[in-house]
Amino acid sequence: MGPGVSRRGEVGAVKVAAIQHDIVWEDRAGNFEHLVPMIEVAAGAGARLVVLPEMFATGFSMATDRVAEPVDGPSTGFLLEQAAAHGIWVCGSVPASPAGADRPCNRLVLAGPDGTTRHYDKIHLFSFAEEHLHYAAGDDYLTVEVEGLRVSLFVCYDLRFAEEFWALASDTDLYVVLANWPASRRMHWITLLRARAIENQAYVVGVNRVGHGGGLDYSGDSLIVDPLGEVLAAGGGSEEVLLADVDAAAVREVRRQFPFLPDRRG
């Protein structure tokens, strides 16, 4: 497998890859070039779903005049190219400007091997960093079937709002959370990812960047967590490709043995 790759596998499950990388600030071309071999490693290891961090091509920039792009712009094009090249699913978030919109949105784009895309616009904007002044909030959830898995998609700050995850629990096998989560609050990130898995009895893949950008340090700490809250793969503070198998049957079995979800009120 080579350095910088961590994996755990199970027979008959879907392999998921979490790529935590150092994002070159506001440099799409540089980030695309850097990610190509990392995605190739993930696909070569058997990953069917590859997850990139929030704003994977630009960093978490509020300079929308420089980073915003059309919904079919270069970052979405890159995801589609990589999905087609490897016959896999690839997702990451993009500062996308829908036609006629006053502001761009922080849009998670999921590109499929058949050349189609689905998207989720970040609902909870990070007002602490004034994201709400530069981006428009989404209002619709997204759950997509990927290789037989029911996958619900979220972006960074959404992780702090348990009710959004609860609302989708009964129809979700895997939550995907993309982030640029600062190192200063790394324990919040790690704790909340495991909590979302435990309370919803589902897998969680949380993918964070590493390095420095926009005046902040990022520690990675990407995680792949199973429905009982056990960590299947964990990233450190450097660039890494994490791999683990996700099995919808395991979600069903955990929920059968421990039927907690029906006891939830509201």
Residues that are catalytic = 54, 122, 156
Output DSSP code: residue 72: T
Find tokens 């609302």 and name the residue: 167
Please give the Cα distance from 53 to 66 (Å, whole number): 19
Please give the Cα distance from 7 to 30 (Å, whole number): 27
Instruction: From residue 52, give the alpha-carbon distance in Å to each of 22, 92, 114, 150, 263.
Output: 11, 5, 19, 18, 34
The separation between the first and the last C-alpha atoms of the chain, rounded to the nearest angstrom, is 46
Contact 83, 89 (CB under 8 A): yes
Instruction: From residue 246, give the alpha-carbon distance in Å to each of 18, 60, 131, 160.
Output: 12, 29, 33, 23
Q: Which two tokens stand for residue 13?
A: 């499950």
Q: How far is CA 149 from the centre of its chain?
A: 15
Three-state DSSP class for 257? helix
Please give the Cα distance from 89 to 72 (Å, whole number): 17
Please give the Cα distance from 155 to 95 (Å, whole number): 12
